[in-house]
Amino acid sequence: MAIAIRKPDEISKLKRAGEIVGKTLHYLQTIVKPGMTLREIDALGEAYIREQGAEPSFKGLYGFTGSVCTSVNEVCIHGVPTDRTIVEGDVLGLDIGVKLDGYFGDAAITMAVGSISPEDEALIACAKGSLYHAIDAIREGMRFKELSKILEDYIISAGFVPLRDYCGHGIGTKPHDEPNIPNYLEGKANQGPKIKNGMVFCLEPMVCRKSGTPVLLEDRWSVISEDQLRTAHYEHQVAIVDGRAVILTQA
């Protein structure tokens, strides 16, 4: 497994791309409201990305038709923008990628549409909390499998389960690169590659209520849990600098 070590100037370029992702997510959070369609949200996100001088990297990637993954309620990841209208009480996942000067940024949030139930608030809090908890725990020299276990332990302790078969990933001059970083431990935590200074990767906990078994819907993109209950997804892109993780996708 060849995991790229990025030079400081490359990390700076990745940070510029990441900041546009963060700004776009923040922008959409401030304007999304009940009555909007997923296509409208997608178009607003694409226009904002282009205004920042970047390209929406998801558009056309592996055949995806939108610029923003718009995942509603039971859809955990890869929701396709359609004419579906969001309503009060929905939870909406927004996953955005950009390309700027040959380097990629990628991050995601799950947001409330108006007022949501306490159960949905807890679900979103788990996804967000597990992400920041794992980022805070990262140290140079620890193994990626240890990081997967940290994510899994947090999610399970909150009363939820991680989605299986999908994962975080390396990123740089390609939108998806080595390593794959599951949100659950496979094998033993003391095995596999170690985290080193200069590595850049995305962590993205995907949280389900009862079952982590994924089901791919007929559109061949949208992924739900087999329990068909609501889900949440959060993601940040980080670089390892001076032994610690620095978030590159802050607004």
Q: How far apart are CA 33 and CA 113, in angstroms?
A: 6
Question: Does any domain span residue 175?
Answer: yes
Question: Does any domain span residue 48?
Answer: yes
Question: Does any domain span residue 2?
Answer: no
23-69 tens-digit pLDDT: 999 999 999 999 999 999 999 999 999 999 999 999 999 999 999 99
Range 119-126 average pLDDT = 98
Tally of domains within the chain:
1
Q: Which residue has the tokens 């007929």?
A: 218
Question: Does any domain span residue 208?
Answer: yes
Question: Does any domain span residue 1?
Answer: no
Q: Would the pLDDT of 1 be above 70?
A: no
Which pLDDT score is estimated for 53?
Answer: 98
142-175 tens-digit pLDDT: 999 999 999 999 999 999 999 999 999 999 999 9
Question: Does any domain span residue 173?
Answer: yes
CATH number at residue 171: 3.90.230.10
Q: What are phi and psi of 196, to 5 degrees?
A: -130, 155
Question: Does any domain span residue 34?
Answer: yes
Range 8-34 average pLDDT = 98
Q: Whole-prediction pTM value?
A: 0.97
Tokens of 132: 């920041």
Range 176-189 average pLDDT = 97
**Cβ pair 183, 232 in contact under 8 A:** no
Question: Does any domain span residue 3?
Answer: no
pLDDT band at 251 (very low <50, low <70, confident <90, very high): confident
Which pLDDT score is estimated for 242?
Answer: 98
Alpha carbon 173 to chain centroid, angstroms: 18
Range 217-242 average pLDDT = 98
Which range of residues forms the domain containing residue 30? 8-247
**Amino acid type, 4:** A
